Structure 1
Amino acid sequence: MRRRLINSTLAVVLVVIAVFGVSLVIVETRTISNSAHERVDSEAVRLVSIVNSRLLTDQQITSDILKGQVAERYAVIDIPGRHPIEVGTRPSGDVIRADAKGDRGEIVTVEEPQSTVTEEVGRTLLIIGAVAALAVAAAVLLAVRQANRLTSPLTDLAETAERLGSGDPRPRYKRYSVPELDRVADVLDGSAERIARMLTAERRLAADASHQLRTPLTALSMRLEEITVTEDLDTVKEEATIALTQVERLTDVVERLLTNSRDPRTGSAVAFDLDEVIKQQIEEWRPAYRSAGRAIINSGKQHLRAVGTPGAVAQVLAALIENSLMHGGGTVALRTRVTGNQAVIEVTDQGPGVPADLGARIFERTISGRNSTGIGLAVARDLAEADGGRLEMLQPKPPVFGLFLSRTPLRRPSGEPGAEHTVR
């Protein structure tokens, strides 16, 4: 493209120079030729007036006297009754000739070599050629500069598009002061930002799925192991029932991840019994704590009802219980209480607590006190907020995390699916 731009610009300049240059040469040649004839005519008229004035005053007319009146030209003065007087050297070849007649019948002929016109035309053509050469050189420089100005942005845009295709969605925010190219750059940067958001969402979904599916799969595995080592039919039925509950929870996790239905406005938030969710989580995690030589207990106010998604609340409690199992120590206690119009579930243990350098950053993604993923508490807080609640660290040492859930359903317009009455 760069070469085509240079060639096209140069071709236009050459055409313009050819058209106007030929016209200028023709006009200048004619002008120089006409000017030469006018000079010779003027010289003949001037010389005949000099001869005429000398004849009137009976002054002598000789070649030596008239020689100073003729500059680099050849002149012949023909006076009736006298020999012709020649002034200068007669030119050879083509000449420009002019005749003038005086009042006493004298005739003056002035001749000038045609070569003087040719030389002047040659000098003019040389000047025109030099100007044309300068114009061509300037055109080439401008064409190269303009081509670079256009091709360099296109190269940058091509590199940006290639980076997008190779999975690097970073926008460049580079502009070129060319509206059309800037428009293309805007579109590519917008696409890069959208692709970056999509990739971030996909990576976050994958991380959340990995973290949220790990706990129910681990619990399900433990139940299946219990079934394989027992021969008591009642124990098998009990463990199978718990395993089915784990499968249902696993299915709920998968559906929530795929449909992204974490917004309570979708109608998934309902009034439910907190005791059932807490009991289910304690039963699920008790084998893991027993294996670690630790205990998990429940205390506080009983028969509380809250508004939210039972599966999401279970996942939040599972994240807190797992966090205590991995990073805490001693007995883990789940305490329930009421504050205002909110039901609160506190999860605490007897471990060293949250390091001071983490503080409130404990809920940020990739923040972890040990070699863990660092997304468990972040996902738990997102789940709590999606149900209209909140998850907070109430105390760093010993660690106390509180899950706050509303006891009153969200107000919805009359007739909207999911509208409920106040829970008392």
Structure 2
Amino acid sequence: MRRRLIQSTLAVVLVVIAVFGVSLVIVETRTITSSAQDRIESEALRLAGIVEANAAERRPIDSDALAEQLDPGRYARITVPGQPPVEVGERTDESVLRGTAKGEQGELVVVEEPRSIVTEEVGRTLAVVGAVALLAVVAAVALAIRQANRLASPLTDLAETAERLGSGDPRPRHRRYGVPELDRVADVLDSSAERIGRMLTAERRLAADASHQLRTPLTALSMRLEEITVTDDLATVREEATIALAQVERLTDVVQRLLTNSRDPRTGSAVPFDLDEVVKQQVEEWRPAYRSEGRAIVRSGKTGVRAFGTPGAVAQVLATLVENALMHGGGTVALRTRVVGNQAVLEVTDEGPGVPPDLGNRIFERAISGRNSTGIGLAVARDLAEADGGRLELLQAQPPVFALFLSRTEPERGEREQTVR
């Protein structure tokens, strides 16, 4: 591109020089020749006046005096009636410019100048024109190189940005070049980089959430299937299979919720449901795991509470809290249901050391963990709660008390979105 810009600029300059330079040379040549001719004729008239004055006073022609009046390099021939011709200067055999003048008494003065003098003057003019043309070419090349670099460098930089974007590095560069068209391309690339960055972040977040949220259901499902394979009791097989099918349904709901939240975290499908059923299901599902650890999981509080939310999402939130209590807590884990005004509150507490004081509510931020875990579970749980207009809070750090607040009446859509924000 640089070469093309330089060549095109140089071609334009050469055409301009060729058109205007040749015209200037022709005009200057004619002007110099005409000026020389005029000077010679003026010289002839001046000498004719001197000769005419001498003739009027009947004085002889003084060639030495006329030689002093004649410009160097010129030749003059003076003819006076009744007198021999007088020649002043040296006559040349080369081509000359000639000027003549006549007096009132028949005097004739002829002045000649070699054309070589005019040619030398024309040559000096051509040299000046050529030097100016050369300077113009040099300036044009320098300007073309500067403009080529100004245009080519941003294009190279934009190509590198596009290549970097295609290789998976979506960081916008925010570089501008002072050229509106190139700045527009840079704006589009930066916008694309930001969109791709958001898409990659969402994909990584979905992968991390899926890995975290599916691990526990798959483990529980695997345990149920193992129970089926080692027992010959048909009733036990039927019971375990029924529980396994319920877990598969919840697992399907987990996947659906993760996909839905990855597209729009505010999308909820709240319906009225019996909170006791979700609590009972979680207690029964986690009781074998707690029993194997020598711990207990119990439920208490108000019964027959109905709330608005997505049962699968609420089950995921509870599963996260119960799993955290199993992994990081200690002693008995209690799930207590209570009613506060228009809200149903489900508290999960244990007898462990609780949340470190330096974390507090930051425990809900992604990648924040007090026990070297992934730091994803509580963040996803809070997103799931907020998607249906609820909220998940840490009411007490030591011993830990987590509370899930759910509305007992269907919230308006605007209120739900306001809660999410």
What band does the TM-score fall into relative to the shorter chain? over 0.9
Q: Quote the Cα distance in structure 2 between the aligned partners of 1:74 and 1:192.
A: 86
Q: Quote the Cα distance in structure 1 between the aligned partners of 2:197 and 2:313.
A: 28
After superposition, give the CA deviation of every residue in 1:197-224 in whole Å (9 maximum; x if it has no partner): 1111111111111111111111111222
Q: Once the 2 structures are TM-superposed, how far is the Cα of residue 234 of structure 1 from its aligned partner? A: 2.6
Judged with a 3 Å threshold, the aligned counterparts in structure 2 of structure 1 residues 187 and 407 are, in CA distance, closer, same or farther, namely same
Report the counterpart of residue 301 of structure 2 in structure 1.
Answer: 300
Report the counterpart of residue 88 of structure 1 in structure 2.
Answer: 89
Report the counterpart of residue 220 of structure 2 in structure 1.
Answer: 219
Q: Is 1:374 the equivalent of 2:375? A: yes
Q: Quote the Cα distance in structure 2 between the aligned partners of 1:303 and 1:220.
A: 28
Q: Is 1:28 the equivalent of 2:36? A: no
Judged with a 3 Å threshold, the aligned counterparts in structure 2 of structure 1 residues 250 and 29 are, in CA distance, closer, same or farther, namely same
Report the counterpart of residue 61 of structure 2 in structure 1.
Answer: 61
Paired residue type of 1:340: G
Paired residue type of 1:57: E
TM-score, normalized by length of structure 1? 0.94
Query: What's the RMSD between the two structures over aligned residues?
Result: 1.8
Give runs of aligned pairs for residues 331-346 of structure 1, distance below 5 A. Answer: 331-346=332-347
Report the counterpart of residue 317 of structure 2 in structure 1.
Answer: 316
Judged with a 3 Å threshold, the aligned counterparts in structure 2 of structure 1 residues 131 and 81 are, in CA distance, closer, same or farther, namely same
* Aligned-partner SS, 2:405: strand
Report the counterpart of residue 144 of structure 2 in structure 1.
Answer: 143
Please say which of residues 195-204 and 58-67 is displaced more in the overlay: 58-67
Give the unaligned 5+ runs of structure 2: 415-421
Q: Quote the Cα distance in structure 2 between the aligned partners of 1:133 and 1:151.
A: 26
Paired residue type of 2:237: V
Report the counterpart of residue 258 of structure 1 in structure 2.
Answer: 259
Please say which of residues 292-301 and 274-283 is displaced more in the overlay: 292-301
Equivalent pair of 1:263/1:387 in contact (CA under 8 Å): no
* Percentage of identical aligned residues: 78
Q: Once the 2 structures are TM-superposed, how far is the Cα of residue 369 of structure 1 from its aligned partner? A: 1.6
Q: Quote the Cα distance in structure 2 between the aligned partners of 1:399 and 1:186.
A: 49
Report the counterpart of residue 110 of structure 1 in structure 2.
Answer: 111
Equivalent pair of 1:262/1:383 in contact (CA under 8 Å): no
Report the counterpart of residue 39 of structure 1 in structure 2.
Answer: 39
Please say which of residues 344-353 and 252-261 is displaced more in the overlay: 252-261
Paired residue type of 2:371: R
Q: Once the 2 structures are TM-superposed, how far is the Cα of residue 128 of structure 1 from its aligned partner? A: 0.4
- Number of equivalenced pairs: 413
Q: Quote the Cα distance in structure 2 between the aligned partners of 1:54 and 1:347.
A: 139
Q: Quote the Cα distance in structure 2 between the aligned partners of 1:362 and 1:251.
A: 27
Please say which of residues 27-36 and 182-191 is displaced more in the overlay: 182-191
Report the counterpart of residue 417 of structure 2 in structure 1.
Answer: none
Equivalent pair of 2:265/2:383 in contact (CA under 8 Å): no
Report the counterpart of residue 4 of structure 2 in structure 1.
Answer: 4
Equivalent pair of 2:325/2:350 in contact (CA under 8 Å): yes
Equivalent pair of 1:45/1:100 in contact (CA under 8 Å): yes
Q: Quote the Cα distance in structure 2 between the aligned partners of 1:277 and 1:340.
A: 21
Paired residue type of 1:203: R
Please say which of residues 200-209 and 141-150 is displaced more in the overlay: 200-209
Equivalent pair of 2:206/2:262 in contact (CA under 8 Å): no
Report the counterpart of residue 186 of structure 1 in structure 2.
Answer: 187
Q: Quote the Cα distance in structure 2 between the aligned partners of 1:6 and 1:389.
A: 67
Report the counterpart of residue 243 of structure 2 in structure 1.
Answer: 242
Q: Once the 2 structures are TM-superposed, how far is the Cα of residue 372 of structure 1 from its aligned partner? A: 1.7
Report the counterpart of residue 419 of structure 2 in structure 1.
Answer: none
Please say which of residues 318-327 and 374-383 is displaced more in the overlay: 318-327
After superposition, give the CA deviation of every residue in 1:48-74 in whole Å (9 maximum; x if it has no partner): 011112222334421111111111121
Q: Quote the Cα distance in structure 2 between the aligned partners of 1:389 and 1:402.
A: 11
Report the counterpart of residue 71 of structure 1 in structure 2.
Answer: 71
Equivalent pair of 1:388/1:405 in contact (CA under 8 Å): yes
Paired residue type of 1:64: D
Please say which of residues 39-48 and 178-187 is displaced more in the overlay: 178-187
Q: Quote the Cα distance in structure 1 between the aligned partners of 2:193 and 2:264.
A: 28
Q: Quote the Cα distance in structure 2 between the aligned partners of 1:262 and 1:229.
A: 42
Q: Once the 2 structures are TM-superposed, how far is the Cα of residue 395 of structure 1 from its aligned partner? A: 1.0
Q: Quote the Cα distance in structure 2 between the aligned partners of 1:98 and 1:272.
A: 124
Report the counterpart of residue 177 of structure 1 in structure 2.
Answer: 178
Q: Quote the Cα distance in structure 2 between the aligned partners of 1:360 and 1:257.
A: 23
Paired residue type of 2:363: I
Q: Quote the Cα distance in structure 2 between the aligned partners of 1:65 and 1:51.
A: 11
Give the unaligned 5+ runs of structure 1: 414-424
Report the counterpart of residue 166 of structure 1 in structure 2.
Answer: 167
Report the counterpart of residue 16 of structure 2 in structure 1.
Answer: 16
Q: Quote the Cα distance in structure 2 between the aligned partners of 1:182 and 1:244.
A: 58
Equivalent pair of 1:384/1:391 in contact (CA under 8 Å): yes
Q: Quote the Cα distance in structure 1 between the aligned partners of 2:185 and 2:214.
A: 43
Equivalent pair of 2:307/2:407 in contact (CA under 8 Å): yes
Q: Is 1:281 the equivalent of 2:268? A: no
Paired residue type of 2:66: L
Please say which of residues 224-233 and 8-17 is displaced more in the overlay: 224-233
Q: Quote the Cα distance in structure 2 between the aligned partners of 1:262 and 1:390.
A: 20
Judged with a 3 Å threshold, the aligned counterparts in structure 2 of structure 1 residues 265 and 159 are, in CA distance, closer, same or farther, namely closer
Paired residue type of 1:310: P
* Aligned-partner SS, 1:68: helix
* Aligned-partner SS, 2:239: helix
Q: Quote the Cα distance in structure 1 between the aligned partners of 2:252 and 2:96.
A: 113
Q: Once the 2 structures are TM-superposed, how far is the Cα of residue 380 of structure 1 from its aligned partner? A: 0.1
Q: Quote the Cα distance in structure 1 between the aligned partners of 2:48 and 2:268.
A: 120
Paired residue type of 2:341: G
Please say which of residues 126-135 and 75-84 is displaced more in the overlay: 75-84
Q: Is 1:51 the equivalent of 2:61? A: no
Q: Quote the Cα distance in structure 2 between the aligned partners of 1:223 and 1:298.
A: 23
Equivalent pair of 1:262/1:386 in contact (CA under 8 Å): no
Report the counterpart of residue 422 of structure 1 in structure 2.
Answer: none
After superposition, give the CA deviation of every residue in 1:160-191 in whole Å (9 maximum; x if it has no partner): 11111111111111111111111111111111
Equivalent pair of 2:267/2:387 in contact (CA under 8 Å): no
Judged with a 3 Å threshold, the aligned counterparts in structure 2 of structure 1 residues 128 and 265 are, in CA distance, closer, same or farther, namely closer
TM-score, normalized by length of structure 2? 0.94
Q: Quote the Cα distance in structure 2 between the aligned partners of 1:256 and 1:363.
A: 19
Paired residue type of 1:27: V
